[in-house]
Amino acid sequence: MTFVALYTINNSARSIARLCQVSRSAHGTAEFHSFVARYSTLRKCAFLPGGKWSFTRAITRQMSQASPGRISLGRYGRGVFLAAGAAAVTGILTAGVSHFQRAEMATKVSKVEEEEGDIRERCKSFMSLPVTDIKVLEQRKDAMSTRMEMLIMETQAAFCRALEEVDGGSFRVDRWSRKEGGGGISCVMQDGKVFEKAGVNVSVVFGNLTEEAARQMRSRGKVLKGKDGKLPFCAMGVSSVIHPKNPHIPTVHFNYRYFEIEEADGSKQWWFGGGTDLTPVYVDLEDATHFHKTLKKACDKHHPKYYPDFKKWCDNYFYIRHRAETRGIGGIFFDDLDSPNQEEVFNFVKSCAKTVVPCYLPIVYKHLNDSFTPEEKDWQQVRRGRYVEFNLVYDRGVKFGLATPGSRIESILMSLPLTARWEYMHEPTKGSREAEMLEVLRNPKEWI
């Protein structure tokens, strides 16, 4: 069952009305209204049939006409959007629009949501209990490792709930442990209605770096001084790759991570890394603009050079050298980020993590019912082959995971699609949409 949401945007004397669909899950009604109340865009919503809705912080509703019932976000629970922000809700509600340019895809987060709050209460919205024991997290609640673990758990939960809403399926949640220290939570949905394979992983591991892993880091300019040949480390992150069935819905990837190494004198080196990037099968200027604008807004809150620098870094990093083409149309990517200070870098990473729903879900909803031909599906399979090539040959995360004892191989290779295709000497027909896509991949462009 669906409700149709009608919202208006008044930039001048005329109001531009748009329609979008919000699915109502069979799981029941969630207390969604408190999120909506914080955002001016959603306060303009009227839900049909019936009359206008108004929202208050007390989670009350008043209707000027007959009440059609409540909006349901299914399994979305209280607090689940702390990681992705209420902008995620805006993204979902506006997801069915035909043009992104006139819709306000907000990425701003209210001060209330910036507050990190009670750890035990926040854990209730997660897909699983955190990797680290809750009592330990409470004891060291101000430590960066604790704050980052809470952020990645919230990001995982927010993104999984959003994907479940659009697909109608549910994630398989696997907890795993690593005998050397730590573990993770893998959430995977396969053969859904919308997504062929969707994975959202959290890992929190610690122990001593292997020589191979240390060598990889030294190759990136890290000066690491161990004690008795040992380098104690702690690494954590959230990583996701989504492979849709419909070739008109792009693949998306994001990863946000934190690393600490304790050196011989007891001092710690730390850094953050991550990014979000989009891999479409066909060029859609509207989608690309929306995706990059959402990321740019998050970056601009912290430094005007972040978006242009990290967009360029993304294009360079996700480059398949043996094919002379990029994996997709980019986004942002950064690594070894340790300045200006830990708090400011963490806040930047948090802003980026909160964009993962609003930058992607509107695109999914837009193309949800697009028809496609067998030839378009074949082209999707060819492009997925390129995705596999990059991940297995060049990806740092895959390399580090495979070089770390006790790593969970199933989680590392979660990023690979269920199906892919390699055709001998494949070249798209000149002037085709496939050729247009390949041209963009061979010559990355600015989207905004």
Tokens matching residue 331 = 């986004």
Q: Is the pTM of this model over 0.85?
A: no
Give a yes or no: residue 314 inside a domain. yes
**Tokens at residue 123, please?**
């854990």
Residues contacting 271, CB < 8 A, separation 6+: 258, 259, 335, 336, 337, 338
Q: What is the pLDDT of residues 11-42, one digit of tens each?
A: 333 333 333 333 333 333 333 333 333 333 33
Closest to 234 (Cα-Cα) out of 404, 72, 85, 76: 404
User: What residues in the chain have per-residue pLDDT under 50?
Assistant: 1-99, 101-114
CA–CA gap between residue 429 and residue 405 (Å, rounded): 46
> Of 33, 243, 248, 253, which is the active-site residue?
253
Question: Rounded distance, CA 337 to CA 343, Å?
Answer: 12
CA distances to 133, 237, 248, 251, 391 from 244, in Å: 34, 23, 9, 6, 18
What percent of the chain is helix, strand and coil (3-state, nearest 5)?
35, 25, 40
pLDDT at position 32 is 37
Distance, in Å, from the CA atom of 390 to the CA atom of 398, rounded to the nearest integer, reads 10
Question: 107, 94 in Cβ contact below 8 A?
Answer: no
In a domain, 369, yes or no: yes
> What's the domain range around 293?
128-204+236-257+268-419+426-442
Residue 8: per-residue pLDDT: 32
Contact indicator for 367, 248 with CB cutoff of 8 Å: yes
Tally of structural domains, the chain: 1
Is 61 within a domain? no
- In whole angstroms, give the CA distance from residue 108 to residue 106: 6
Q: What is the sign, positive or negative, of the torsion defined by CA atoms of 415, 419, 422, 423?
A: negative
Residue 372 lies in a domain: yes
Please report which helix (H) or strand (E) contains residue 177, including its range: strand 172-177
106: in domain: no
The answer to the question of residue 96 being in a domain is no
Q: Any idea what the CATH number is for the domain that residue 295 is in?
A: 3.40.1500.10
Cβ atoms < 10 Å from Cβ of 267: 9
342 in any annotated domain: yes
Residue 329 located in a structural domain:
yes
In this predicted structure, what is the pLDDT of residue 355? Answer: 98
Give the model confidence (pLDDT) of 374-416 as tens digits.
999 999 999 999 999 999 999 988 887 887 777 788 888 989 9
Rounded distance, CA 348 to CA 418, Å?
A: 33
Is-catalytic flag, 253? yes
